[in-house]
Amino acid sequence: MSTNEVDSVPADDDRHEEGPTFADLGIDDRVLAAIADVGYESPSPIQAATIPPLLSGADVVGLAQTGTGKTAAFAIPILMGLDTAQKKPSALVLAPTRELAIQVAEAFGKYSSHIPGLHVLPIYGGQSYGVQLSGLRRGAHVVVGTPGRVIDHLEKGTLDLTQLRYLVLDEADEMLKMGFQEDVERILRDTPNDKQVALFSATMPGAIRKISKQYLNDPVEITVKSKTQTNTNITQRYVQVSHQRKLDALTRVLEVEDFEAMIIFVRTKQATEELAEKLRSRGFSAAAINGDIAQNQRERTIGQLKSGALDILVATDVAARGLDVERISHVVNYDIPHDTESYVHRIGRTGRAGRSGQALLFVAPRERHLLKSIERATRHPLTEMQLPSVDDVNATRVSKFGDMITENLSSDNVALFRKLIEDYEAEHNTPLVDIAAALAVGGFDGDNFFMEPEPEPAPRRERDRDRDRDRERAPRRYDDEDGGPRRAPSFSRESGQELATYRISVGKRHRVVPGAIVGAIANEGGLRRSDFGHISIRPDYSLVELPADLPNETLEALRRTRISGVLIQLQPDQGPPAQRLNSRGPRRDREARPRTERRKPRS
């Protein structure tokens, strides 16, 4: 195995050292045109190191963190080798989560925009089989899927991989952590031996090394050493705020912070439009850019930002690539990025040309682990910022009102309006201060000029607190079939939703761990980690607490989910004797027996 180590900067950072262009890598004109449309200016280190060996037909092992540009590193060479006349899938990309599968499929779509007739299909758990079956019957040249759903289609005979030429394992270490090792190895075994394989992973544990040696043919190993340093002239702060209060928090920051121009980063294209519209309705000069915006509109919007006609840009990571505007003084991470490389790239849009910059990160309580990851990777602790209070906002509004008066007094038009006001005063015998106040009413919304304090939440009654405390302390019990007391309902600490206990057909003898159970169920059922409660792994089965109101479609998808290659057959637990979730169950059974059954009196 040949190895190659390269230094990495964020994939879309336009400040890295001079290197090869995309044209230098031997990429054809159709893909080059699509790359230019997306806004890439030059390849990232992993792209420059990976594309040539993949184009030459070699297998590749790429060790790189998320956010270094590896999707383009494998998508570009694959697209150049596809034959659109072939209807059966030519390329298969395996991804650990539905979110990544969708993201990779969207990237393939963008890079293939100038290749007519090429179809990309994501297949993942939680989505209707009908949509996926229609796409497969129509013909998909590239299939991007999660291992469990790919196995399902293979078993149903709806996915034909006999003509597969390319196979990519994206974030392979995550797939193994989530319990997909047997599924991945089965797919590798059941696909043509002459396929080209690319494996990408953040780390190289023993299991990944084993897969590489067993299923890849003399691969080229490329290691990307991540550079996550942030500029010292950027002040980095964070605000802990719930998702529901983000807009209010952002409004307070915009009113009180002294900024010249600002970029606000969100995760989705839809969020850019929605947030920009909400900010405009609050009187701020804001516009959105995302991957769906035409290039000429993007250029016009950025031109307005440079000239000062626009102050706030709401953008996605992709849309902000190549953006270099010196007057950007603030970057706000409205949605926290899931990888440190994206964070470094985002805040790198301020503090340019030796100027100082401000970076602000919004962190929901359940996202604090992402904040810690950013601090560890950048070796730069972020300072917590207290949100401006209502009094701070109102004081700022009063100050700005006074500044507006002072600025307008120097206008050449003051003499004209002074004469009109003097005439009005003489004609109506109205004090000048009243006239000035009336003019201010015409330019401002007096009813909403001052921010009102938020109403205090109603105090919880002592009885409610006692009831909740008793509920938390109550033992969790199951009925027998004769209708004894049911298990007290459980509630998620994060979401507050009621949880129910479900049984799955994998346990200790299948060597499952809680992480594999959470990963597989979350992926195939479209759930979040906050939807899980207690997990109890038994010898032949496991019990998992999940939302009590799971829809039938989700339940059906989860029954067909596999963990470590075994169908989990998820179903609501029927509640056998009380020891089910209690490690001291037998003792509880003895205590529950009627006293007369414990010992019969001697006759």
Q: The CATH number of the domain where 543 resides is what?
A: 3.30.70.330
- Whether 603 is in a domain gets the answer no
Supply the pLDDT for residue 67. Answer: 57
287 and 344 in a single domain? The answer is yes
Residues 203 and 262 in one domain: no
In a domain, 83, yes or no: yes
Q: Which amino acid is at 45?
A: P
384 lies in the same domain as 405: no
CA-based R_g, the chain, Å: 30
* pLDDT value for 108: 94
Tell me what pLDDT residue 346 has.
87
Q: In terms of pTM, does the model score above 0.85?
A: no
Is 507's pLDDT higher than 60? yes
Which pair of structure tokens corresponds to residue 492?
Answer: 């998620």
> What b/e string do you get for 241-266 counting C-beta neighbours within 10 Å, with b at 16 or more?
beeeebbebbbbbbbbbebebbbbbb
Rounded alpha-carbon distances, angstroms, from residue 140 to 84, 120, 143, 144: 9, 6, 6, 10
Amino acid type, 107: A
Residue 274, CA distances (Å) to 15, 241, 247, 286 in order: 31, 19, 11, 11
Q: How far apart are CA 305 and CA 323, in angstroms?
A: 11
Are both 189 and 245 inside the same structural domain?
A: no
The last residue of one of the domains, among 428, 448, 468, is 448
Sign (positive or negative) of CA dihedral 358, 364, 367, 372: positive
Instruction: Round to whole Å and give the CA distance between 276 and 312.
Output: 8
CA distance 174 to 97: 9
Token pair for residue 281? 């309705």
- What local confidence, expressed as pLDDT, does residue 272 receive? 92
Confidence category of residue 175, pLDDT binned at 50, 70, 90: confident
pLDDT at 456 over 70: no
Looking at the fold, whether 487 and 437 belong to one and the same domain comes out as no
Please compute the mean of the pLDDT values over residues 340-367 and round it to a whole number.
84
269-281 vs 246-256: helix crossing angle, rounded to 10? 50
Residue 455 lies in a domain: no
pLDDT at residue number 578: 42
Nearest to 179 by CA among 497, 576, 578, 565: 565
Domain that holds residue 72: 3-226
Domain boundary among 199, 226, 253: 226
List C-alpha distances in Å: 17 to 7, 13, 14, 25, 540: 11, 10, 9, 17, 56
Contact 247, 278 (CB under 8 A): yes
Q: What is the pLDDT of residues 23-32, one digit of tens each?
A: 899 999 999 9
Do 172 and 276 fall within a single domain? no
Q: With a cut of 80, say whether residue 12 has pLDDT above it.
A: no
The pLDDT tens digits of the residues spanning 187-202 come to 999 899 999 999 998 7
Mean pLDDT of 101-124: 91
Query: 533-550, pLDDT tens digit by residue?
Result: 889 999 889 999 998 888
Distances (CA, A) of 1 to 173, 450, 549: 19, 68, 51
The residue among 354 and 66 whose pLDDT is bigger is 354
Residue 100 counted as domain residue:
yes
pLDDT at 329 over 70: yes
Whose structure tokens read 């209707």? 128
- Say yes or no: 248 and 281 in one domain: yes
Mean pLDDT, the chain, rounded, equals: 80
**Same domain flag for 49 and 183:** yes
7 vs 239: CA distance, rounded Å:
32
For 475, how many CA atoms within 13 A lie in the half-sphere containing its CB?
A: 13
Considering the domain boundaries, does residue 599 fall inside one? no
How far is residue 58's CA from residue 73's CA, in Å, rounded to a whole number?
14
Element (H, E) at 62: strand 60-63
pLDDT tens-place string over residues 584-603: 444 333 333 444 444 444 44
For 586, how many CA atoms within 13 A lie in the half-sphere containing its CB? 0
Q: Determine the pLDDT at residue 491.
A: 61
| Better-scored residue on pLDDT, 458 or 275 | 275
Same domain, 262 and 278: yes
Q: How far is CA 378 from CA 235, 258, 275, in A?
A: 13, 26, 28
Whether the per-residue pLDDT at 203 is higher than 70: the answer is: yes
Number of C-alpha atoms within 13 angstroms, CB side, residue 185? 14
Sheet holding 286-289, edge to edge: 286-289, 312-315, 261-265, 328-333, 357-363, 234-240, 383-384
Model confidence at 65, pLDDT cuts 50, 70, 90, reads low
The 3-state DSSP class for residue 330 equals strand
Bridge partners of 571? Answer: 503
Token pair of 544 as six digits: 């998992």
| pLDDT of amino acid 399 | 78
The confidence score (pLDDT) of residue 361 equals 95
Q: What is the pLDDT of residue 454?
A: 61
Q: Please, which pLDDT band fits residue 280 given cuts at 50, 70 and 90?
A: very high
Query: Would you place residue 55 in the very low, low, confident or very high pLDDT band (cuts 50, 70, 90)?
Result: very high
pLDDT at 335: 92
The last residue of one of the domains, among 203, 226, 249, is: 226
Number of C-beta neighbours around residue 499 at 10 A: 20
Longest dimension (CA), the chain: 118
Residue 271 and residue 328 in one domain: yes
Determine the average pLDDT of the residues in 38-48: 82
Q: Rounded CA gap, 145 and 103, in Å?
A: 11
390: tokens are: 């209502």
Task: Catalogue the long-range contacts made by 274-280 (C-beta closer than 8 Å, 24 or more residues apart).
Answer: 275/247, 275/314, 275/334, 276/312, 276/314, 278/247, 279/250, 279/254, 279/312, 279/314
pLDDT at position 547? 86
Shared domain for 276 and 187, answered yes or no, is no
pLDDT at residue 543 in the model: 93
Which residue in 515, 578, 567 sits closest to 541, CA to CA? 567
The answer, yes or no, to whether residue 17 has pLDDT greater than 70, is no
Residue 353 sits in a domain of what CATH number?
A: 3.40.50.300
Give the pLDDT confidence score for residue 459 in this predicted structure: 52
Q: How far apart are CA 178 and CA 146, in angstroms?
A: 11
Range with the lowest mean pLDDT among 128-142, 228-242, 579-593? 579-593
What's the pLDDT score for residue 250? 94
Enumerate long-range contacts of 231-235, CB under 8 Å, 24 or more apart. Answer: 231/347, 231/348, 231/351, 231/357, 233/351, 233/354, 233/355, 233/356, 233/357, 234/347, 234/350, 234/351, 234/356, 234/357, 234/358, 234/359, 235/356, 235/357, 235/358, 235/359, 235/383
510: tokens are 């299948």
Q: Cα–Cα–Cα angle for 421, 427, 432, nearest 5°?
A: 40
Residue 254 and residue 210 share a domain = no
Which amino acid does the sequence have at 272? T
Q: Tokens 């995309």 correspond to what residue?
A: 22
pLDDT value at position 9?
46
Alpha-carbon span 249 to 484, nearest angstrom? 50
DSSP 578: G
Give tens-digit pLDDT for 344-353. 888 888 887 6
Cα 421 to chain centroid, rounded: 57
Q: What is d(CA 363, CA 348) in angstroms, rounded to the nearest whole number?
A: 19
- Give the pLDDT mean for 332-359: 83
Number of domains in the chain: 4
Q: Yes or no: say if 63 and 8 are a contact pair by the CB < 8 Å rule.
A: no
Other CB atoms within a 10 A radius of the CB of residue 206 amount to 7
In a domain, 464, yes or no: no
Query: Distance between CA 259 and CA 313 in Å, rounded?
Result: 13
Would you state the pLDDT for residue 157?
92
Residue 471 lies in a domain: no
516 versus 167: the higher-pLDDT residue is: 167
Residue 492: the pLDDT is 57
Q: Kindly state the tokens that stand for 354.
A: 């030796």
Determine the pLDDT at residue 510: 85
Confidence band for 471, pLDDT divided at 50, 70 and 90: very low
Among 272-281, 401-410, 461-470, which stretch is predicted with the lowest mean pLDDT?
461-470
Instruction: Look at residue 18 in the predicted model and tell me its pLDDT.
Output: 54
Residues in the chain: 603
Residue 570 lies in a domain: yes
